[in-house]
Chain A
Amino acid sequence: MKGINEQDFLAWADAYLREELSEEEKRQFEAYCEATPVHAVLFKQHQALVNDMKVADARSNFKRDLQRMGQAYHQTRQPKSSTKVFGLWDRFKFSAAVAAAIAIVSVFSTLWLTGYYKNLKKTTSDYSALRRDMNTVKRNVNAQNVAIQNMHNSKDNARETMHYGATGFMITKNGYVVTNYHVITGADSVYLQNHKGESFKADIVFTNPEKDLAILHISDSTFKSAKNIPYTFKKQDSDMGEDVYTIGFPRDEAVYGQGYLSSSTGYAGDTLAYQISIPVNPGNSGGPLLDKDGNVIGIISGKQKGIDGAAFAIKTKALIETLNNIPADSLNGKNVVLNNKNVLHSLSRTDQIKRLQDHIYIVKVY
């Protein structure tokens, strides 16, 4: 047994490792290894080597399989991520999201730090303040209207129970008179008094709160149909800068006021009114606005507080529209026929006024 050479021993060892030996022979081999340490070491080494060979092979097989499966896997998925753009997007979408978030935050924080929002807020509050101002003005106008009425009220209160007064003027010779709606709101009765001091009872025929117009009719039996109305109504809009005048009753006597048409729209852009530059006072409401030829171009309605020389007059157009809206029932057969013969245009202003005066009334509301 001892003289066995390396080659034969390894062949024997191979046989042992490959389990080709019988139990008997196996024991013989093991006994031999114990007896021969040199060969025992050799056997161990050989066994390790063979094992390594096997493992290495299995491993490289596995690796090959893995690579093949990997390729197959990627091929099936390739079309999805084939374009470069998508690849880049996949790669950078997280960074892009972070960058976008930072950009948004920095934009808004910068805006905030630089006081943009404060300015914005200030602007809006300016705006609302402005609006409030305008509301205030509107209220002031209303208040003023009330004041117009109250002035008379307080003035006349001591004397008689008259509530307030304003101006009105005749539009037809059969007794139709126009004044402002705000003058006669809540009226129990309306009386018209001319400059001679004659007083007539009047009925309210029609009102138009939106346009602030009221049509009255003198129902008094003492009223005699007037001679022809000397003025006509100009339906077209008048031009800016036109010389205009009015006669009203801010006190118990008629007061003449002169000025010019300063804007073709009224308060807050109202296209059915003019802005005029005439000194008007409470009581002027409802007075006629005439141009230099004696055409009625509007009806004085109010003025804006806090602004110099801004009074407003309702356009004749609105008056005509209102007249056209009067239901036939309200007229009692007395049609509204506007005068179309102007006898004033060649007269001087003083003469015009003399002719006009008879047709302008102080409206007294009880």
Chain B
Amino acid sequence: MSKEKSDIQIDASIIEGIRDGDNLAIQQLYQIHFPPIAQMIITNRGSREEAQDIFQETVMVLYTKINKGDFVLSSKLQTFLYAISKRLWLKHLTRGEAKYRKDSIDDYGDTLAVEEAIENHEIIEERLLHMEGSLNGLGEPCRTILYDFYIRGNSMAEICEKFGYTNTDNAKTQKYKCLQRLKKIFFKKYS
């Protein structure tokens, strides 16, 4: 009983840690959950490197789900991660050839929740990758200006000083132009 409880506590602390971007939580996640998943992939025609990739993707799915804010762990974390990596691995295996049936290695009830999580993950992943690409596509100094202002939360005065603008108005104009360009690049795909 106490072991079960401590398992639940560990799961909760890991989830908390991931939400906060805590490295220790990631380390713990690796130590506890990587071996069985690697085992599953290796015994199913996978290599150790592929196991790593799948595991990282699995963790990203978990991350997406946690950051969506509505994450409630209905089973043990291990079960959840295992189901996701199984699904991902199956997808990886059947990529380009749809001859495997969906229910070939797991049962149906689990699949739906997992499938949803993965789909969510993929949508967000795509959008954010696109965002990153767009930001990178801006070139300097636009990328850094926007990054400093919006992500690091620096004030316009600091930015003005850093980039050597004569006054904050110039910096503001520059920032506005950069933002417009980002929007142009970013929304090109979605318009």
Point out residues on A near B: beta carbons under 8 Å: 6-7, 10-11, 14, 18, 45, 49-50, 52-63, 65-67, 69-70, 72-74, 81, 87, 90-91, 94
With A69-B27, A69-B30 known as contacts, the answer to whether A53 contacts B56 (CB < 8 A) is no
Min C-beta distance of A145 to chain B, whole Å: 74
Residue-wise, chain B 16-32 has the 8 Å CB interface mask toward A (1 for contact) of 00100101001100110
A53 touches B150 (CB 8 A): yes
CA distance A60 to B130 in the complex (A): 12
B26 touches A53 (CB 8 A): no
With A49-B182, A69-B23 known as contacts, the answer to whether A63 contacts B127 (CB < 8 A) is no
A53 touches B151 (CB 8 A): yes
A91 touches B132 (CB 8 A): no
Min C-beta distance of B150 to chain A, whole Å: 5
Residue contacts A-B, CB under 8 angstroms, 23 given = A6-B176, A45-B183, A49-B183, A49-B186, A53-B131, A53-B151, A54-B151, A55-B67, A56-B135, A57-B151, A58-B67, A59-B63, A59-B128, A62-B18, A62-B21, A65-B23, A66-B26, A69-B23, A69-B27, A69-B30, A70-B52, A73-B27, A87-B48
Chain A positions within 8 Å of B179 at CB level: 10
The residue from A7, A53, A73 contacting B176, defined by CB atoms under 8 A apart: A7
Which residue of B has the minimal Cβ distance to A6? Answer: B176
Chain A positions within 8 Å of B132 at CB level: 56, 60
B21 touches A65 (CB 8 A): yes
Size class of the contact patch on chain B? 35 or more
A53 touches B135 (CB 8 A): yes
A67 touches B31 (CB 8 A): no
Which residue of A has the minimal Cβ distance to B55? Answer: A70
B128 touches A52 (CB 8 A): yes
Apart from A6-B176, A56-B128, A59-B128, what are 15 other A-B pairs with CB-CB below 8 Å? A7-B173, A11-B176, A49-B182, A53-B150, A53-B151, A54-B150, A54-B151, A55-B67, A58-B21, A59-B67, A72-B27, A73-B31, A91-B43, A91-B47, A94-B43
CA distance A62 to B183 in the complex (A): 25
CA distance A66 to B31 in the complex (A): 13
The residue from B26, B147, B150 contacting A69, defined by CB atoms under 8 A apart: B26
Chain B positions within 8 Å of A65 at CB level: 21, 23, 26
CA distance A14 to B132 in the complex (A): 20
CA distance A49 to B146 in the complex (A): 11
Chain B positions within 8 Å of A62 at CB level: 18, 21, 60, 63
Chain B positions within 8 Å of A50 at CB level: 150
Chain A positions within 8 Å of B80 at CB level: none
